[in-house]
Structure 1
Amino acid sequence: MANMVKKVLIVDDFPLDAELTKRVLESCKDAPEVVIVSDGEEALHELGKTHDFDAILLDLALPKVDGFEVLKEISAKPYLSHVPVVVLSSTRNEADRIRTLMMGAKDFVEKALDYSAFKEDLTRKLARHGLCCTRLHDRA
């Protein structure tokens, strides 16, 4: 059976964070197709029209519709119930972390100031869910 290219939705309103997240995914051995949207409304629109995402990487602090509301909507849609959501956030608030996990997120990654720490944490969490990051092209 041929390997199918996986598809990941990145939802982040800060272009640099979205680009760094995309770079982590591109460093994976089997790099997925990446779609980036910049607010919660766009995310819900994309998820409503396209049902082929293998993972959603979701920021919490989003314009229009925040990440908590997006997560709530994802959890309410049976056709998205199998798609793991990994929350990416700069919040250090433990209550937010617990709330997202209780709402159905599979993991939570803090946006670290240090790119290598962020890359290592995100790679490990994606691999935990069988996504693209079991081996990296490089260790940089």
Structure 2
Amino acid sequence: MTRQEGSLIEVLLVEDDPGDVLMTQEAFDEHKVRNRLTVVPDGAEALAYLRREDEYADAVRPDLILLDLNLPRRDGREVLAEIKKDPDLGRIPVVVLTTSAADEDILRSYQLHANAYVTKPVDFEQFIAVIRQIDEFFVSIVKLPPR
């Protein structure tokens, strides 16, 4: 399926912190980011969503994944490794969006083929600016692979 220029982008947010989910949703709303945001609260659900298992049988394949590292059930690092080793899922860009600024987390994420690593700002306005920049980059600048 080919994406039309200026068409809606499907974004999967894998995040267990309700506050960060709310801030991301508000960032999308406040800046008229017209892409569709789907949220799953842990790594196991993220993989079920991506593999269209069980309740996610009709899930829309995301064009971009925003992935927290510190997740319940399946850690974000495990999820990233699973995504990138799968020939079909591996081409979906994954932006690690996490509170960790630890060198080992950054290095490990890139070793697992993350497309970008972004440390979440704690300030709401800065957080919105970061989400907007991610959106702008992956929607307006980067050519994403077909679904």
**Same fold, judged at TM 0.5 (above):** yes
Partners of 1:25 and 1:59 in 2: CA distance? 17
CA shift for structure 1 position 100? 0.7
Task: Report the number of matched residues.
Answer: 132
Partner of 1:121: 130
Calculate percent identity across the aligned residue pairs. Answer: 33
Aligned position for 2:12: 9
Work out the CA distance in 1 between the residues paired with 2:5 and 2:96: 30
- The residue that corresponds to 2:75 in the other structure is 66
Partner amino acid for 1:74? I
- Once the 2 structures are TM-superposed, how far is the Cα of residue 85 of structure 1 from its aligned partner? 0.6
Q: Secondary structure at the match of 1:125?
A: helix
Q: Determine the structure 1 residue equivalent to 2:93.
A: 84
**What is the CA–CA distance in structure 2 between the aligned matches of 1:20 and 1:97, rounded to whole Å?**
23
User: What do the CA deviations read for 1:75-122 (whole angstroms, capped 9, x no partner)?
Assistant: 011111221111111112022012112211111121211111122223
Q: Give unmatched runs, 5+ long, in structure 2.
A: 53-58, 142-147
2:118 alignment partner, SS class: strand
For residue 42 of structure 1, report the CA deviation from its aligned partner: 0.4
CA spacing shift, 1:45–1:37, aligned 2, 3 Å: same
Q: Name which of 31, 34, 37 aligns with 2:37.
A: 34
Q: CA RMSD in A?
A: 2.0
Distance (whole Å) between structure 1 residues aligned to residue 119 and residue 82 of structure 2: 22
